[in-house]
Amino acid sequence: MNITEINFDGIIGPSHNYAGLSLGNLASAIHAGDAAYPRAAALQGLAKMRHNLALGLAQGFLVPLPRPNPVFLAAIGADGSENPRLTAAAWSASAMWTANAATVSPAADTGDGRCHLTGANLVTMPHRSQEWPDTVRQLRLAFADQRHFAVHDAVPPCFGDEGAANHMRMSTSHAAPGLEIFVYGTSGGAFPARQHVEASRAVARLHGLDPARTLFVEQNPAAIAAGAFHNDVVAVANERVLFTHELAFADPAGTYAAIRERLPEAEIVVVPTADVSLADAIQSYLFNAQLLTLPGGAMALVIPTEAWEHGRVRAWLDRMLAGNGPIRRVLPVDVRQSMANGGGPACLRLRVVADPATIDPRFLLDGAKAARIEAVIAEHWPESINPGEVGSTELAERVTAARIALLRALDLTELA
């Protein structure tokens, strides 16, 4: 089998807007009420996917969920008298951040030798808690081959689970058995800790992971309080490399020792707080990056342009590249519309290690399909959405029709 890592990016939906719904996400709060540009956002996301394709990497995608969400609106008895934030929740395009779609364990790690995916319940935030049934329906279509995949419903909502954004995997290669690291929170000061340790343990059991190759690590409460609402805002791993901020974990020394004990080949790249503060890391989203293994074997870090343009962050990156570390290239990408709502390159992708031949090909990107997606976005996605338009009948009809046009172009109308 041709086992490789495939990044599944979320196509940014036509209802993309800035409602400031995510407590603890500083970028979301700062830009609440700004005009949003769904067409530009979706084209930026597509350009990032094409960028990965041009690097010679496998690339997939997930399509936007139905928005405004009629199931959610019916469940709250919406009649126009509800809190406007609930209306905005039904319109949110936040499913574009597929790092929160599910937690994924490759076949090499699981008890039954299949790749397991468990949908994230995202219960902490109303606008995200409604996503998982439609997300799982899409995952069951993309990964329908039950010889190779098992797709699980979300764990019970009494345990908050935010998916791959709080999960890392390290290994000598993508195809080799790995060490799966689940990062949970216990406190975040004024902000909620979104990942519950019992949710992480439940996912590990559902996936049949070997306890000897599974770690449960507490996120640093100071990182949550500073605005690192998910672990992927302060740490990212790829194969043998962990790239992390000094203050990412509650017990960094213990975490590093446990990783090295289970994976002696591990290389841990720690960015000191004296060089890049937590505030710098969260403002720039340095760690909310795609750490990738290129076809030639070198590692590259795909970062948002905000990180490349940040003085202290850029100085540290320049020093890193001048050294002899494991990360050999830094590749900036423009995802400013997503960044303004609190999601960088890592938020926009779900990593799946599998043979592309076992996946429904409709969800795998190539040049021709990218051109079809671009044409639909250019024709149907609203150019802008102002806060006062959210909830309007006219805009609802337009964004619903835009999504249907995309599903038709991709032959995915069973998701309508």
For this structure, is 230 an active site residue? Answer: yes
**pTM higher than 0.75 for the full model?**
yes
pLDDT in tens, the chain (416 residues): 899 999 999 999 999 999 877 767 776 778 778 899 999 999 999 999 999 999 999 999 999 999 999 999 999 999 999 999 999 999 999 999 999 999 999 999 999 999 999 999 999 999 999 999 999 999 999 999 999 999 999 999 999 999 999 999 999 999 999 999 999 999 878 888 899 999 999 999 999 999 999 999 999 999 999 999 899 999 999 999 999 999 999 999 999 999 999 999 999 999 999 999 999 999 999 999 999 999 999 999 999 999 999 999 999 999 999 998 999 999 999 999 999 888 999 999 999 999 999 999 999 999 999 999 999 999 999 999 998 999 999 999 999 999 999 999 999 999 99
How far is the C-alpha of 212 from the C-alpha of 231, rounded, in Å?
22
Residue entry with tokens 């250019």: 378
Q: How far is CA 9 from the centre of its chain?
A: 8
How far is the C-alpha of 70 from the C-alpha of 90, rounded, in Å?
8
- The count of residues in the chain is 416
- The sign one gets for the Cα dihedral 158, 131, 5, 280 is negative
Extents of the domains making up the chain? 4-415
Fold adopted by 4-415: L-arginine/glycine Amidinotransferase; Chain A (3.75.10)
Catalytic residue among 5, 127, 306, 347: 347
Catalytic residue among 5, 131, 162, 389: 162
Provide the residue type at 335 as one letter.
V
For this structure, is 158 an active site residue? Answer: no
Is the link from the previous residue into 68 a cis peptide, with omega within 30 of 0? yes
Catalytic residue among 116, 127, 230, 245: 230
